[in-house]
Amino acid sequence: MTPTSRTRIAAVIGSPVRHSLSPVIHNAAFAAHGDDWVYGAFEVQPEHAAAAIDAMRILGIAGLSVTMPHKEMVMAALDEVSPVAALVRAVNTVARRDDGRLVGHNVDGVGCVDALTRAGADLSSVAVIGAGATARAVVAALAAHGASVHVANRTPARRDDAVRIGNAARTGSTSGVELSAVGECATIINTTPQGMRDVSPDTLPLDAAMLHGNQTVLDAVYHPLETALLRAARARGCRVVDGLDMLCAQAARQQELWLGRLPDVGLMRVAALDELAKSQR
């Protein structure tokens, strides 16, 4: 579909965003559904995160995805923040209401739960490694879903903060654990950057010896698609869910906020895989 003056604009802001697969994922879904929307990517330095919200307001941008390190920085510039985003203190989606007000949401957590549910993961007991913005959203969503959530993080204060958020989502749902105890859970989620191509591609966030075949392991990292953690988990017989599944699931939830319908997540994943294949030629 050729963009016109009536085409609605959506985009991702972050720093860096050159590696982002979000434009490919969203544009594939827009095209499949016949939406007169187009999605781009804007490199925004951290000190300009709030100004990017003002630009969205002035330019009439219809939807915004917010990635690191801006998820907390944009909140004060918004007209309204959803209860979930307020609880986890992070926004990853901005939707424009019919009256022009800009509302911040966080769908990282529900996207993670969606990806795990599609994979058939056992969500009765879930370990979350990390306590940053993504981890807080995941913990809150898992707690609200009914899981028994166990948070491991090397900084006790940050771990305890994530635990408080989980228990605010559902009383008695969440506890803090040592990293050595996460192997007792049915599902393990890594939300740390360990395993990321440009950070620490060969490191694991846990001891692989604690993994076993009855578990599901999700790594939120998707550069590379198969991280060292997922390779180790696969070798030990675990069900694995990669970061691309989570990315596509939360992108689908973003489109639900913008357009009132859920797109085909499988189609979004295929588009992303095609783009990754091109980049590796």
H, E, C per residue of the chain: CCCCCCCEEEEEEECCCCCCCHHHHHHHHHHHHCCCEEEEEEECCHHHHHHHHHHHHHHCCCEEEECCCCCCCCHHHCCEECHHHHHHCCCCEEEECCCCCEEEECCHHHHHHHHHHHCCCCCCEEEEECCCHHHHHHHHHHHHHCCEEEEECCCHHHHHHHHHHHHHHCCCCEEECCHHHHHHCCEEEECCCCCCCCCCCCCCCCCHHHCCCCCEEEECCCCCCCCHHHHHHHHCCCEEECHHHHHHHHHHHHHHHHHCCCCCHHHHHHHHHHHHHHHCC
Q: Looking at 8, 71, 105, 253, which residue is catalytic?
A: 71
Query: Does residue 16 have a pLDDT over 60?
Result: yes
Confidence (pLDDT) at 5: 87
Confidence (pLDDT) at 202: 79
Hey, what domains does the chain have and what are their CATH numbers? 8-106+248-279 (3.40.50.10860), 109-241 (3.40.50.720)
Between these two residues, 17 and 256, which has the higher pLDDT value? 256
Active site residue 278: no
Confidence (pLDDT) at 199: 74
Full-model pTM: 0.94
